Amino acid sequence: MVYYSISIIAIVSTFLTIYALSLFLNSKTKIFNEVTLVGINKGCDIYKGSWVFDESYSLYNTSTCPFIEPSFDCQKNGRIDKDYFKYRWQPYGCNLPRFNGTELVLKYKGKRIMFVGDSLGQNQWVSLACMLHVSLPQAKYSMDKIGKIYTFTLLEYNIWLLFLGNPLIVDTITQKGSRVLKIDSISSGNIWKQMDVLIFNTWHWWDRKGQKQTWNVIQEGNITYKDMDRMELYKKGLNTWAKWADSNLNSTKTRIFFQGVSPDHEGCKGKTGPAQSPGIIHPGEIELEKVLKNISKLFIRLINITRLSQYRSDGHQSIYTNSMDCIHWCLPGVPDAWNQLLYHFLIS
């Protein structure tokens, strides 16, 4: 009778272990995308918080970072108020570690970190390059551009920070004088495989129409469309990327992130501080999260910058660039907070 009881207990214990493991494996992508971070505080959601004024900010400025893109440099372009770069994101119930560029460089010495996406990705790439340069001002660096690839390199540490301009992530080709959006094709992925860290982003180019639209026709397999619902098109593009990534990337070799949608604002002129409310949930972010949750093989971290950035209409370039711009961000500014989140994940 004793042996029988022990046997039953062992069987039940084994069953529960296997069941728990299967639940983990089936939900591993979801777990990796969740915002609960044991490394800070168990149960702390770093995306729930507020923007707090911090006199010690910003982390850099025009004089300490000589390679800020002219269009991102709102102070140089005549903006007088400075509060917009003195806010930092503060989660409720826990603290993010302050950015330490030396720690990041030592941890990723000899590594390649690549941003892939549109000019909002470039916005963030420049921000991180400035944050690293200011942390190690004596370190020799190079700044290069070859084709669509921008590279910032800290030479003695052999750390490469790259940006690849690929706004739609899927292919756009010229065929018989016509620009074709190949919604089910990715041909630029070979360079992604060579990276140690990848940060993807896409959204703003999917809704472009008229002269700003970057294609004439859409091709899916052997079927050609003149146009289609843009949200549906965006979802198709994301799913093409997800299938490619799931089949071609290895999350034991490469850390993979997808940046949430960077929100634009209808009115940003004259704004000088964070809004009281972020507004409605961004529809592009909803679709992105759905796609990421369906990825079965990879660990992919969603950096959900959308909601916290929706508070910050004051952080846009506004009139302090070539034309009115409520899409891109001043530097220093909001993208520095995105990199603070990225930094936390990279050193975790």
pLDDT along the chain (348 residues), means of 10: 38 39 38 41 86 96 92 96 97 95 97 98 98 97 96 98 98 93 95 97 95 95 96 98 96 96 95 94 96 93 97 98 96 98 95
Q: Can you tell me which residue has the tokens 């770069």?
A: 85
Kind and range of the H or E run holding 300: strand 300-303
What pLDDT sits at residue 204? 96
What pLDDT sits at residue 35? 43
Q: Can you tell me which residue has the tokens 């990723």?
A: 108
For the chain, what percentages of helix, strand and coil (3-state, to nearest 5) are there?
35, 20, 40
Position 165, amino acid: G
d(Cα 309, Cα 289) in Å, to the nearest integer?
Answer: 17
For 79, left (φ over 0), alpha (ψ -120 to 50), or beta? beta
d(Cα 132, Cα 160) in Å, to the nearest integer?
Answer: 11
Omega within 30 of 0 (cis) for the link into 167: no
Strands 171-175 and 112-117, how do they pair?
A: unpaired
Say if CB 215 and CB 181 are below 8 A apart. yes
The tokens describing 188, both together, are 């630029």
The model carries a pTM of: 0.88
CA 33 centroid distance within chain: 13
d(Cα 100, Cα 15) in Å, to the nearest integer?
Answer: 45
The 197-200 sheet, strands edge to edge: 141-146, 149-154, 159-165, 112-117, 197-200, 255-259, 300-303
Say if CB 295 and CB 243 are below 8 A apart. no
Of 329, 330, 313, 317, the closest CA to residue 276 belongs to 313
What pLDDT sits at residue 348? 84
What pLDDT sits at residue 27? 40
